[in-house]
Chains A and B, each alone.
Chain A
């Protein structure tokens, strides 16, 4: 997971928003480093956002997390300028959003960014299919094409057959699928999701998260996702920004947030997170401690004795082949007669997926005496996870 060096798709620089009749006074105080509460007391102006800087890469899910009043909903509305900033700049794919005229802004919203809302924001007087095709209708695309495309996206979110229903006839989860299909239907590169799953039952929410991840694997959109739910942020986010009182507390990968909280606020936040569910094998895995490349039994045994390891990991031309125990080699060597090949002593490789949660791999690691290999679907060996690794990840407080 190396940071890509290319220019971020969305760049936010020095973005501030003050609510009130005299924002400039408040801006001055922001410049002097006063806090939100101080400014409210001194000037009566409410600071919504305080000098926000963010870089969002193309194709990632960027989660902005904060409690109510943190300014996260204000922030997301700046990307498509549903709210005008008091100061600052947002650049999307080289375009300064703040300089767009009303007409340009309409075009920008139609083609560049679409949005999913907490309470769905569906048009109650239009059918489901009309809602999905709403973005296209706004663009002036004719009805038959609209219906075709909207129908396809409705299929994609699993709502075929609901075309002629009205939103009020659907459940919350179904309505949000319509909202998602509507946002995808315009083929915009960037998807803004404002607490998109917060109004749903926990079970439905997790289903929707799965569906979003599955869709994202296919579509590779750039998704800016707002939530107040840290579990959701950790689950979905490639990067997470934590917002407090209009200020960014920390930006980083989920594991950074979890294991290396930047301040007491974030730490308090992550304290209650169920790490077993959030941390994955790739986060805690280590390089294999005993990498065997030679199939010679004596050679392997010597290497294992040298590294004081009970188990060795055999690779052949960089491909992981399996695990062999020192005891098996010693037994083989002490046997008289023809020695078998090292390959034949390999135990049946037991492996886990790098994305698997600790919760899931814990039984496997406990059930085997050796560190479990972490292998991708393509068979790529990534590292090993030991019982010790898992337990220490679950219990350590600071990274």
Chain B
């Protein structure tokens, strides 16, 4: 008797959710290659699939290629954690041309960028939390290839942050204190440099951003430039390669948004509604990233951990029925 019951339930539940299925269909979600984005992408996949009946699939992505592809090709459907500052013009244009839709902020506090030093250095010398202290103790931060110089680990070549970090380096006149830009070559190179410094408690000074696994694991202090954030200057000059005379400004919080294609927003209104509500506080994300780091979990496992242990966080994002379906699917994991 069991088999017919199962079949029946399959048919009935299939019938019940059919409107959502018809709307949503196949959905591709960009899985960026850093942990927070991967976590969010996996959460989205699970909720869209089990809560809204979408045929959701993760595709690898990265800020620039994904953003460009969404504008030009209309895929993937969802970029769950897009650092849109770097793509501002393209996204604005996409929205204006009705190709893209911004669902909301995936990190409600926005992303943090800045120049950082390890916590253990600041514990020993609190002045290192300010740029003046860093400049005064420049000798501490040895250049990896030249003992007579100091090294500032900048954003990897070819990344958008390379321009802003370079401009701020210039504005802060770090060169006058013996600093030189050290190009780590890649995100892995930059993270590796930080990890190496932390294992041996060496001095380190460079660009990084939060929330990230690296900053979750390695406690760092954002260096205060004493200038506050000047969003206007930042937008017009700091982030521009043509900026001739950059001024000192802290990084304004980056807009970290959930962006979807217009076609997805139109065909899956309910699912889009979920994406509009779905957003993480940096504090939550830090906690999650700490857990991910601790357990070396991939996005899928992190998603399971999050959905099982932080119900209070995600339940408000969805309707009761959807929550029930998601929970049922969770129980089957």
Q: A–B direct touch, CB within 8 Å, in complex?
A: no
Interface residues of chain A, those whose CB is within 8 Å of chain B, are: none
